[in-house]
Structure 1
Amino acid sequence: MRPKTARCPGAEERLRATVATHWPVLQELGLAEGASLDNLLFVATAEEAVQNADFVQENGPEREDFKKELFAELDAAARPDVVLATSSSGLPVTNIQAGLKHPERVLVGHPFNPPHLIPLVEVVAGDQTGEKAVLDAINFYTAIGKKPLQVKQERLGFIANRLQAALWREAFALLAQGSATVEDIDLAISQGPGLRWALTGPFLNMHLSGGAGGIAHVLKHLGPPMEVWWDDLGHVPLSEELNARIIQGVEDEKAGRSDEDITRKRDKALLELLKLKNSLPEI
């Protein structure tokens, strides 16, 4: 959706093409009875989109000015009891809800790409968000098969993106310093800790690596070396030269493969991983 003054040309065609592309994976994942591409409704204005909605998920550009304008329209058009969730990747929802008539129903509902497969949704309240809206959002995401996580503090980037940013910062630094190539870094994660992180998070992984002594043993014996590593972690500003190296490195890693082919194979593997995780007791 775009504010009424700036409708995006070709939006409906792109939407329908995107949903159709992902439909086979969604069918394999499992759809509700009666689900059909024919049920997809496109409307031209925000008012039309939300006037009969029971929950609103906004997925506009990551710009605070845009979201504030759009949420003013949504707030005026939707029923007062309907949650208005923004998919912002890190913007403070407190700023977005400021000045609205019903700020208590505005919050962050941040999914992760590809959102039709990745379960996590971060739920973040702003200064004026009510407890009922948070509970309603968590219940809604849970009902559609997601794994909602309520973020305890409103911080830039929330939780998952801050963790990703920490990894990206060191990845960029290693590349800039000449310690590794783009492909080396991707391999180090995808064939190393990334496999474990798909099953357990960083703290439980650390605990399991400590043997009989668990995380207490790791903290005692590897804590001091880790502090040395932390002090040695790099930080480099993005530059045209570094950006060019990253872009070229990704092209080299792709080795002529199309983004569509990589995405298709990734989604297929993700689907199989999700099926496996869902078939096993939670770790």
Structure 2
Amino acid sequence: MTSPDDPVTSPAVRRVAIVGTGVIGASWAAHFLAHGLDVIATDPAPGSEDRLRADIRSHWPVLEQLGLADGASPDRLTFTDDPAAAVADADYVQENGPEREDVKRALFAVLDASARPDVVLASSSSGLLPSAIARGCPEHPERVVVGHPFNPPHLIPLVEVVPGEVTSEAAMDTAMAFYRAVGKRPIQLRQELPGHIGNRLQAALFREAYSLVERGVASVADIDTAISCGPGLRWAVLGPFVNLHLSGGPGGLAHVLEHLGPPMTAWWADLGHPELTPELARALVAGVDEELADVDPADLVAQRDEVLNTLLAAKSRTTLP
């Protein structure tokens, strides 16, 4: 990263630009509005504004349950189809465009030319490297970071903040401070790598889940149950290392590594290496369709958000890390 002696500073963020208003962008917009900020959103797709406002209306009840900041209102949302105009007066930019490097670079060229030099340009990219994205910014590449949320961003606290090769310390400090100010739990990566942290951990789980389906070991529904009614419950409370430590009793992690470590390494050797063939893809989709055959999609999302809300409220009353 470059030195802190660059144009990026840490102004108070009052207006956030949301660039791209799909699932992630709409969730981000709702979150920022709930924290009392002004939001100006942009998306070139026809009907984007109507869909965005409908999405925010659907998110608002759970955000009200979590608690709104003073002055929070969906009425503080404005919309334009011009990304340059959207970021011109913004104090922070959260980009949520397609997960394609060429598209990101072209879009960031517009953002870089239009946003004030002191404004951080953050991408919600789930796996692209910030250095690659920043190559689209000839004027101020040092203010580009990845600010990767987890879906849905208006509920899940984690944001992975990733610097690129030329990202400044000032830009990172600004991004970390901003996400904390809007109730997030940001973590700062020490180096960039594809998929960041959370998605790489998920990819390891998905690889074996796909393999178990491919090998006929279990159904899609059974694999979902194995996680949602098993380790997933613990993972929602504490991370993998602390959970492993607790499973060791008085001896903690040292005991687990000594006594259960060797069997686990044997399991590693037996993990699958599936190829995502068309046949496997069809099997996975069919399995989910069967699992959700009698489930209303909107009701499923609402129930998920209700449980997340309850869990977050419960965790907020503890000192859990």
Contact 2:106 2:136 in 1 (8 A): no
- 1:99-144 CA distance string (max 9 Å, x none): 5210110000000101100000000000010000001000000000
Q: Distance in 2 between matches of 1:99 and 1:40?
A: 28
Alignment of 1:29-40 (within 5 A): 29-40=66-77
Per the alignment, residue 64 of structure 1 pairs with: 101
Residue identity in the other structure for 1:230: W
Q: Distance in 2 between matches of 1:145 and 1:122?
A: 14
Alignment of 1:174-193 (within 5 A): 174-193=212-231
Q: Distance in 2 between matches of 1:78 and 1:255?
A: 47
Per the alignment, residue 149 of structure 1 pairs with: 187
| Aligned counterpart for 1:16 among listed residues 27, 41, 53 | 53
| Aligned counterpart for 2:211 among listed residues 173, 198, 212 | 173
Q: Distance in 2 between matches of 1:241 and 1:99?
A: 38
Matched, 1:274 2:312: yes
> How far apart are residue 25 of structure 1 and its match?
0.9
Alignment of 1:70-219 (within 5 A): 70-100=107-137, 101-219=139-257
Q: Distance in 2 between matches of 1:266 and 1:96?
A: 33
> How far apart are residue 30 of structure 1 and its match?
1.3
Name the SS for the 1:108 alignment partner: strand
Name the SS for the 1:41 alignment partner: strand
> How far apart are residue 212 of structure 1 and its match?
1.1
Name the SS for the 1:107 alignment partner: strand
- 1:56-76 CA distance string (max 9 Å, x none): 100111111111001000000
Residue identity in the other structure for 2:63: L
Shift >4 Å, 4+ stretches: none
> How far apart are residue 195 of structure 1 and its match?
0.6
Q: Distance in 2 between matches of 1:155 and 1:26?
A: 33
TM-score by length of 2: 0.86
Name the SS for the 1:42 alignment partner: strand
Residue identity in the other structure for 1:247: V
Size of the alignment, in residue pairs?
280
Name the SS for the 2:269 alignment partner: helix
> How far apart are residue 7 of structure 1 and its match?
2.2
- 1:218-260 CA distance string (max 9 Å, x none): 1111111111000000011111111111111111111321211
> How far apart are residue 282 of structure 1 and its match?
2.1
Contact 2:238 2:320 in 1 (8 A): no
Residue identity in the other structure for 1:41: T
Per the alignment, residue 15 of structure 2 pairs with: none
Contact 2:124 2:149 in 1 (8 A): yes
Name the SS for the 1:61 alignment partner: coil
Aligned sequence identity (%): 59
Residue identity in the other structure for 1:245: A
Residue identity in the other structure for 1:85: A
Matched, 1:51 2:63: no
Task: Identify the structure with bigger relative contact order (alpha carbons < 8 Å, sequence gap 6+).
Answer: 2
Residue identity in the other structure for 2:96: N
Per the alignment, residue 249 of structure 1 pairs with: 287
Q: Distance in 1 between matches of 2:154 and 2:237?
A: 19
- 1:184-205 CA distance string (max 9 Å, x none): 1000000100010011111111
